[in-house]
Amino acid sequence: MIIRDILKAKGGTIFSVAPSAAVSEALSLMVKSDIGSLVVLDGTRMAGMLTFREILRALDAKGNLAGLKVSELMIKDPACGNPEDSLESLRELMNKDHIRYLPVKEGDKLLGVISFHDVANAVENEDEFSSEDAARIHAALDELPAEQREVLVLRFLEDMSYDEIARVVGCQLGTVRSRIHYGKRALRSALSKDQPT
């Protein structure tokens, strides 16, 4: 499997923001779109990437996002993948450099962004992880209360720490732990009920 295959399965939607945009606006777009990164576009040129990680670091350092522009936090000249790169080389690069979101370019053309979650799904599919199993997990997640689903996604798909999740969702650390605990329990229960006999 190559990166082009992952992009085909994922679709070509690219979420972007301008360098001059307020970080608070970028964060709002990320939350509303349920994504962990934005491509920073200066016109049609990719100027950088902005992820939850940079926003959390800024919150930790300043205490708020007031007055911050995307250009101040974005990753300039991020590593990029090529659509012909293999899944294995992509996984190695993302693991080695701790990259969660990787833009994919063909020449100067931006084709999309691959997340570590996309790579994990592709690896599972290569290992004959059934589409039925994936559909069952997604359906079970959709049945959870929104506050439990949100923290489970941030923890296990976005690989955020409990402290980072508490900052993003705006609640106490103990509340995050509780929501994850009960969310995992509810997910297990929903999956066991739906287990084919």
pLDDT in tens, 133-171: 667 777 888 888 989 988 888 887 777 888 889 988 899
Q: Do 23 and 101 fall within a single domain?
A: yes
Domain enclosing residue 163, as ranges? 130-193
User: Which of 124, 152, 183 is the last residue before a domain boundary?
Assistant: 124
Q: Do 109 and 138 fall within a single domain?
A: no
**CATH number for the domain harbouring residue 148:** 1.10.10.10
The pLDDT confidence band at residue 47, using thresholds 50, 70 and 90, is very high
pTM of the model: 0.62
The pLDDT confidence band at residue 42, using thresholds 50, 70 and 90, is very high
pLDDT digits (tens, 9 = 90+) for 98-127: 888 999 999 888 999 988 888 777 766 655
CA distances from residue 85 to 69, 82, 102, 104, 106 in whole angstroms, order as listed: 33, 5, 12, 10, 11
Kindly state the tokens that stand for 61. Answer: 């350092």
The pLDDT confidence band at residue 129, using thresholds 50, 70 and 90, is very low
